[in-house]
């Protein structure tokens, strides 16, 4: 796991929190494909993700709200969203935030 290399704020973060159902049912393959596909989208800045005991948090970073909306409506992503709702997730939440400040050792340069 590495930190996303984001630009100076402002930019946007989409926080996706989920509780998985039992069994893979194609989840791992689709999750990998969604990361690959997101990286190809205009305005995608990076992502960070962690999962333990079926509970996961993924934060993706975007240049604008329009970029987030375009990603949300991408045809292949829409199929993954619907499959998530019906098969992969017992519960989930999505939060969209504007990042106005960012600081920490990850932002320091040598």
DSSP 40-108: TSTTEEEEEEEEETTEEEEEEEES-HHHHHHHHT-HHHHHHHHHIIIIIEEEEEEEEEEE----SGGG-
The label of the residue with tokens 């975007």 reads 62
Question: Which residues lie below 8 Å from residue 22, measured CB to CB, with a gap of 6+?
Answer: 54
Contact indicator for 39, 92 with CB cutoff of 8 Å: no
The predicted structure's pLDDT at residue 2: 85
pLDDT band at residue 109 using 50, 70 and 90 as cut-offs = low
What token pair was written down for 72?
Answer: 């949300």
Rounded CA-CA distance 49/27 in Å is 15
Task: Express each pLDDT in 49-100 by its tens digit.
Answer: 999 999 999 999 999 999 999 999 999 999 999 999 999 999 999 999 999 9
pTM of the model: 0.92
Q: Give 107's pLDDT tier (boundaries 50, 70, 90).
A: confident
Q: What are phi and psi of 14, to 5 degrees?
A: -110, 120
| H/E run at residue 34 | helix 27-38
């Amino acid at each position: 796991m590495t930190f996303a290399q984001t630009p100076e704020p402002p930019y946007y973060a989409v926080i996706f929190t989920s509780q998985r159902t039992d069994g893979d049912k194609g989840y791992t393959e689709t999750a990998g494909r969604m990361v690959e596909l997101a990286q190809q989208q205009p305005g995608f800045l990076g992502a960070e993700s962690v999962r333990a005991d079926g509970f996961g948090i993924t934060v993706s970073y975007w240049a604008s709200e329009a970029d987030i909306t375009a990603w949300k409506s991408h045809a292949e992503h829409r199929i993954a969203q619907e499959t998530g709702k019906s098969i992969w997730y017992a519960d989930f939440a999505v939060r969209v935030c504007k990042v106005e400040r960012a600081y920490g050792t990850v932002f320091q340069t040598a």
